[in-house]
Structure 1
């Protein structure tokens, strides 16, 4: 690249404590880094405590003091903080580096009522730290739910923008191509109290009593980021309910295994109590899976009606919603029973593909580059 082009680049630093693989926050931080690095207007560096990605270049910093004194941080024109839970790094936005525009990507915080008591202290600190966002020049909310959460925390203004995440589906498939002799249900996500996996197992038990249609539920989760005590309670519940032949606890899956699970599944189901975005719903739609969930947080919005919301957040209501979708899938010539209305599998595939395109890396990259360009006066 010519030297004069390098000189003219805006220097961007992305501050994310953990660039973890198989984690929505780490993936979003990585995608932000990559998309900005593809833009010749920007010179991008990442600062972190841990980084799983070889294609994210930057530096490991251990403490807030190290961050504030980091040479790339000090010369940055734009600092992007990727926030999902309390970390001392996010106190840096109170002072910045004295001249950079500051941006916060907000991934939301799970409320205490959905978390074990041992985590309440850090949850309180996380909500308190949201007030630091008042020092930011822009705040990027992942979703409508996160925008509403910022308003509940009294962080408002026209500098707040909804900038949806990029989603790269593990698989692309069509619902109409899938055989329906066995209806495959899939959950993908962490195994944690807030994700409602015990409710999901109970809903599966009730569904078994509602339908004669054969079905299977697979639970795929990142064990590295899961609550091991909760994992044990899920295993006990499966055995207690006699669901060993219906519910399979896969645990951590390879990329190929995850792709195959999405390709062969008909329904993505979650009993999560709180989602700031819910990447698996977009992954499900891309792979020909109908999302079925509780009517809470961003799950109310993320499927855009191309799924089925339960009447309330109870296992019985989730089982009823699943029953309607399972029966419509297993009945020849029946139309799918979805929140947007009845439609054929072919119509679902077409509308889902159009909707998912709005979360493509290309669209995400354009959104992020436009926002950073505007901040540095290069739009």
Structure 2
């Protein structure tokens, strides 16, 4: 079957791009003919055509002859306007990743969010919408989209086994990881502020924080603020609290950080899915995050949820969990019990599981369309 994929970009350090790459790979390996149309693609193993606009897609012979068109949507893109003009008879599937609420972005970005919310209306032309989470499905319903829809989680690589013990059990340094874009809505400055407070307590152990984020997709003003704050902490609190800002860390570096970390902390104000939580649990990290959007669900009862925006509660939660992962009880058995439960939970997001679901859905979807045409 000839399948056209459409999205603005397919680039490194981006969750939607990874989902597209996964799906294209699985469908190719299942024997389908697949091509991605986009403005930029970093991956040579993804068959693609780089285009300059929606017109180049609409009149492309491959697109005109495709039997199925799959659109990923998480932010406004002119390519999403090809949905209503998909060739007659071709199936149309949208994978919906949600849109960041306008109140959580800087004023200069709110017009783009408004355009994105209006463009959600294009989904009325789709035959089916796949949502990453129940949260995203509820957003569709709130927007009045009645297109048939269902929930299919993203695939998250869970092949990393948590270590038998974390480095903190040897050197006493509690390691904390943050992974997310460096924007206000992800709360990196709130996390730094809370950790400065926690580290000031005489009873606190030494703490190390690793900050990992996609610089290109971040707020550059906030990145500069982060760098200034990290430098200030280094000059004032070195020894009690150390912080390292990695920026566009490689996959290997990210895995190294998570495998070593005792805690994954992300005081974010909105998540449609949140891949890093699953990656962190897979690596044996305790998780601390705010209690909004998809976060209570994605944590699977294994995270410490804090009232959104409550900075006092965030500092208290960090202090409590730091104390727990530093305790003899945790080192002697608590960690092994937790990491075992986490491994069982994250198995539901394993790529092999999601691959079976995705390929089975596509096969059944096409078969159903064929039966309708024949009737």
Deviations 1:57-107 (A, max 9, x none): 121121111111111111111110011100111111122112111011111
Contact residue 263 and residue 285 of structure 2 kept, 8 A: yes
SS of residue in 1 equivalent to 2:34:
strand
**Residue in structure 1 matching 2:277, options 271, 277, 281:** 281
TM-fit CA distance, 1:183: 0.8
Determine the structure 2 residue equivalent to 1:296: 292
Deviations 1:198-227 (A, max 9, x none): 111111122223552221111111212222
Contact residue 166 and residue 261 of structure 2 kept, 8 A: no
SS of residue in 1 equivalent to 2:118:
helix
Note closer, same or farther for the CA distance 1:104–1:175 as it changes in structure 2 (3 Å cut).
farther
Determine the structure 2 residue equivalent to 1:7: none
Which TM-score applies when normalising by structure 2?
Answer: 0.91
Determine the structure 2 residue equivalent to 1:140: 130
Tell me which moved more, 13-22 or 165-174: 165-174
Contact residue 310 and residue 320 of structure 1 kept, 8 A: no
SS of residue in 2 equivalent to 1:191:
coil
Note closer, same or farther for the CA distance 1:266–1:357 as it changes in structure 2 (3 Å cut).
same
Structure 2 residue 113 is the aligned partner of structure 1 residue 123: yes
Paired with 2:308 and 2:108, the residues of 1 have a C-alpha distance of: 28
Contact residue 185 and residue 268 of structure 2 kept, 8 A: yes
**Residue in structure 1 matching 2:185, options 194, 203, 210:** 194
Determine the structure 1 residue equivalent to 2:199: 208
Paired with 1:230 and 1:177, the residues of 2 have a C-alpha distance of: 31
Which TM-score applies when normalising by structure 1?
Answer: 0.90
Note closer, same or farther for the CA distance 1:102–1:298 as it changes in structure 2 (3 Å cut).
same
**What RMSD in Å do the two structures reach over aligned CA positions?**
2.0
Paired with 1:59 and 1:298, the residues of 2 have a C-alpha distance of: 34
Deviations 1:179-207 (A, max 9, x none): 33111000012111221111111111222
Determine the structure 2 residue equivalent to 1:220: 212
TM-fit CA distance, 1:252: 2.1
Alignment of 1:136-285 (within 5 A): 136-156=126-146, 159-169=148-158, 171-174=160-163, 176-180=165-169, 181-210=172-201, 211-239=203-231, 242-243=236-237, 245-285=241-281
Paired with 1:122 and 1:175, the residues of 2 have a C-alpha distance of: 46
**Residue in structure 2 matching 1:328, options 301, 324, 335:** 324
Structure 2 residue ranges without an equivalent (≥5): 370-375
Determine the structure 2 residue equivalent to 1:6: none
TM-fit CA distance, 1:156: 3.7
Determine the structure 1 residue equivalent to 2:373: none
Alignment of 1:338-377 (within 5 A): 344-377=334-367
Alignment of 1:92-111 (within 5 A): 92-111=82-101
Equivalent pairs counted in the alignment come to 362
Deviations 1:293-331 (A, max 9, x none): 111111121110111111342222111111221111111
